[in-house]
Structure 1
Amino acid sequence: MDLLRFITAGSVDDGKSTLIGRLLYDSKSVFQDQLEAIEKTGQVNGQINLALLTDGLKAEREQGITIDVAYKYFSTPKRKFIIADAPGHIQYTRNMVTGASNSDLAIILIDARKGVIEQTYRHSYIASLLKIPHVVICVNKMDLVDFSKERFDEIVEDYKNFASDLDFKGLEFIPISALNGDNVVDTSPNMSWWKGKTLLGYLEDLEIEVDETKHEPRFPVQYVIRPQTEDHHDYRGYAGQVRSGLFKKGDDIAVLPSGLRSKIKSIYTYESEVEEAFAPMSVTILLEDEIDISRGDMIVTDKHQPIVSQDIEAELCWMDAKSLVPGNKYLLRQTTGSVKSAVKEISFRIDIQTHEKLESSQLALNEIGRIKIRTAKPIAFDSYFENRGTGSFVLVDEGTNNTVGAGMIVGAY
């Protein structure tokens, strides 16, 4: 079975945790001891409080919010799923960015009573910024608006009007009631006017692009294997995970950023030699020539090369309490490599509610902006739009070793 990673987002009290609990409960993915524990804890309107399946921390339950990104796993006969439950408050924007970075789909909840609000704009923009290809708008709490088709249609129209400039491959709207289970796993008898799929039905049937061989071949070197034994005196292998594309024995390759060229002599997995390797296989590649390669270098096919530059322009979500200002220096980690870098310029800050580009001399915690960075030495990268694996990076404060920023590369400047 294939795997679908998705994130849930919405305003506080929109019912994210209840929705996830309902998916787990109705798909029979809850262990008996978990079920017994939440049955003892309490009920909501005479029903099991399914939100407790995700809100595991006492402090979070007391505040009525989900603070960190909670990951949950479940499966059906058709597919396996990983859910990232992101918090709704604006001060946890960085948490949503973290949860969304590897997601194939975003579920954005809208309270049927409140309609499209500021948090809806923010979460939709982040989903667009992170190039999440598919978005499902779940209009929740339909039971509180008498399952009104008119109210659902009104919210759909409002959302489409503001989201027209966002880049989504697929956009779906589903009316649900997570508390009662309407249109979550089973079709709702209360909304006979709805002829579409249930949420789980949509998640099971969604076609996602899992064929990474369609992208250009990229192999960041993680480790250089030099046994230096009598049996393997001249052995030199380059181990790592294929990020994208397809490598074959005999391919002409280039090693970046040096630009040295060679040909693939052989490819090995843990078990045996193979003729080709594709994402996300972990392999060891041997080359016909002895050339200088180290961790962080990238092996690519000779014809389809990424950008090599010291000057990077990127969208950045700032994650540290201490604001980002031009001149600050950080360790930039991208694929398997690390390089010292300095922030040269903050081009603008993005107002996530209005999508406006505002002049700014700094980025505060949870703010997103466009920056220019210079690295101490050239690195190889693609734009995030073309390749999420080689177009993303994090900034690390060398003094504290804290991750202070998450970046999506636009290109070189």
Structure 2
Amino acid sequence: MQTTLSDSARQLPRAEEADSILRTCVHCGFCNATCPTYQLLGDELDGPRGRIYLIKQVLEGNEVTQKTQQHLDRCLSCRNCETTCPSGVDYHNLLDIGRAVVDAAVPRPVGQRLLREGLRTLVPHPELFKGLVSSGQVFRALLPGTLQSKLPRSAPPGKARPTTRHARQVLMLEGCVQPGLAPNTNAAAARVLDRLGISITPSREAGCCGAVDYHLDAQAAGLDRARHNIDAWWPSIEKGAEAIVQTASGCGAFIKDYGHLLRSDPAYAEKARTVSALAKDLIEVLRDEPLEQLGIHSAQRLAFHCPCTLQHAQKLGGAVEALLTRLGFNLTTVPDGHLCCGSAGTYSLTQPELARQLRDNKMNALESGYPEVIVTANIGCQSHLDGAGRTPVRHWIELVEAALP
């Protein structure tokens, strides 16, 4: 695609990157065939090809409107289009660049602005978030249905974690909302890793990965959180930590992008590359370990929802399914497994109607094989799907840990 960036666009820090991505797109339209919002709305501007065209117009100096912002906001950033694209268009980075320009030019309505600022204030703070979840559980019956659906139906407390005792050690990102919504997930991961001779090195200074800020109109704040985490992890990395493990694939996808996002920061570029290289989804660590020696076996009937951040961003589609099958779990077939469930970080709150439609479609697909439980690899997807109040949804590592003898 030919582009002619405006003079103002050429001054952007990522102007050259945007121009390169735009020129990669050949406008074939294959991406629309797998775009969840295009499938729902049927509007060219609510598909990747249309959004690329809108960003091109913006960067060439054309008028930026609330309509432009709306079409970009409706994108889930699921990156399904990247998996589909025959030209290798780096869509999510172009979208980030375009959104930053549009958000700077178009003030949001007060309600949207307050919602986004409220989410940025609440979500990245685990203790505050956990306290609000606990209060919500107490007053659950008094809450409107939309808020009730955001609370976990059942959240068993996290069991005790093993002490750090093995020579092999990894770091683990604790996450923001997961300690409040599913406190047993990281504990289950720690216990399985411990049985394999791998200990978790505590890193209490590390916090939110930065994705919440970055994707809610505050990219600079998101990158500051990335720098904070790099500083928090660096002493353990220097001591030989094997990996930085994430049990939430959304966080993992963003941490794996630190190296790219901070590549122009002279103080952090090299460290960011190292951190991104060490970032591993839990499945990347466990799939290479001798799990058979643990004596895990279960014939439980499961449906696996593969989060977009696992299959499209981290390119790990099929990895969890293979491990669960290897351990004896009975996995059902899930039609259209490539499509997004509608969670997409905070999307289910900023675009609730579209998110609900996508969730219901995904639940129908997941339940078509009559599973006992649905499992996934990302807390956002888990909470969003479980909010339908249908088949229970849990993180896959909890079922693996429960099957330990």
* Range into which the TM-score falls when normalised by the shorter chain: under 0.3
Larger radius of gyration: 1
Name the TM-score, length of structure 1 as normaliser.
0.27
Judging by fraction of residues, say which structure has more helix: 2
